[in-house]
Chain A
C-alpha cells in the first residue's frame, strides 16, 4: 500500500496536533507516504520558539479532559512532537507550510521548527495529494 495520505492541519491545540501526529505515524508505519499541510494555528504551533510549549486543548475538553490528557503525559505518553519526529525517521513524511498562512502570521521558514520541510501553495498541495485521501484536522 503506497497511496499518499494528505493531512491538512489547521488546528493548533495539543489534542488535535496529537491526532494528526498519530494518523501520520500510523500511515508511515504502513509504508504510506504522508504529506502534512500546515495552515493557520496548526502552522503557528510549529514555530521554533514554541513548538514544545503548551498549546491548550479544544474547548470541548473541559477540566476533565485537561486532567485526562495531563495524566497520560505524566504516565509517559509521547508528545505530538516526539510522535511526528519518530514518524519522519521511519517513513516518508513531508511537512509543508501553507504560503498564505505564512503571510498572515508574518512568518519566515527560519521561524519554524526544522520538522517543517518547506513552504508551498494550495495548488502544489493538491498536485502532491494526487488521488490519495485528504484528511482535515
Chain B
C-alpha cells in the first residue's frame, strides 16, 4: 500500500493517538492513506469509533509485539 503519511503514536496514551491521527488526516487529500502505529491497547476501540464518527475509513488493522497498526483512508 502507498501511504501518504505515517504517524508513529508509540508510547502515547489516550487521547493522543487519535489527536495525532486527526492532525495527520487533515493534511491528506480525499482517498489518500495514512498509517498509524500505537502502543495504547485502548486505541483498538478508539480508532474504530474515530473512523465511524469522522467518516474516514479504517481499511486495515493488525497488531504484533504490543504494537497496534491502523490504515485509514481520508473520506
- Asked whether B23 is an interface residue with its Cβ less than 8 Å from the other chain, the reply is yes
Q: Complex Cα distance A90/B19, Å?
A: 8
* B54 and A30 within 8 A (CB): yes
- Asked whether B7 is an interface residue with its Cβ less than 8 Å from the other chain, the reply is no
A30 contacts which chain B residues (CB < 8 A)?
18, 49-50, 53-54
* A91 and B22 within 8 A (CB): yes
Known A-B contacts A1-B53, A90-B23; A29 and B13 likewise in contact (beta carbons under 8 Å) = no
- Asked whether A62 is an interface residue with its Cβ less than 8 Å from the other chain, the reply is no
- Asked whether A25 is an interface residue with its Cβ less than 8 Å from the other chain, the reply is yes
Of the stretches A75-83, A112-120, A122-130, the one at the interface is A75-83
* A29 and B14 within 8 A (CB): no
Q: Complex Cα distance A87/B23, Å?
A: 10
- Asked whether A28 is an interface residue with its Cβ less than 8 Å from the other chain, the reply is yes
* A25 and B50 within 8 A (CB): no
Main secondary structure of the interface of B (DSSP, over half): helix
Nearest-CB distance from A14 to chain B (Å)? 15
Chain A residues within 8 Å of chain B by Cβ, number:
19
Chain B residues within 8 Å of chain A by Cβ, number:
16
* B18 and A29 within 8 A (CB): yes
Known A-B contacts A86-B19, A91-B22; A29 and B11 likewise in contact (beta carbons under 8 Å) = no
Q: Chain B: which residue is nearest A77 at the CB level?
A: B13
Q: Chain B: which residue is nearest A2 at the CB level?
A: B53
- Asked whether B21 is an interface residue with its Cβ less than 8 Å from the other chain, the reply is yes
Known A-B contacts A90-B22, A90-B23; A26 and B53 likewise in contact (beta carbons under 8 Å) = no
Q: Chain A: which residue is nearest B12 at the CB level?
A: A78
A77 contacts which chain B residues (CB < 8 A)?
13
Nearest-CB distance from B49 to chain A (Å)? 7
Listed residue (B11, B15, B54) with the most chain A CB atoms within 10 angstroms of its CB: B15
Closest 10 CB pairs of A and B: A29-B18, A30-B53, A29-B22, A25-B15, A26-B15, A1-B53, A90-B22, A86-B19, A22-B15, A29-B19
Q: Enumerate chain B interface residues (CB-CB to A < 8 A).
A: 11-16, 18-19, 21-23, 26, 49-50, 53-54
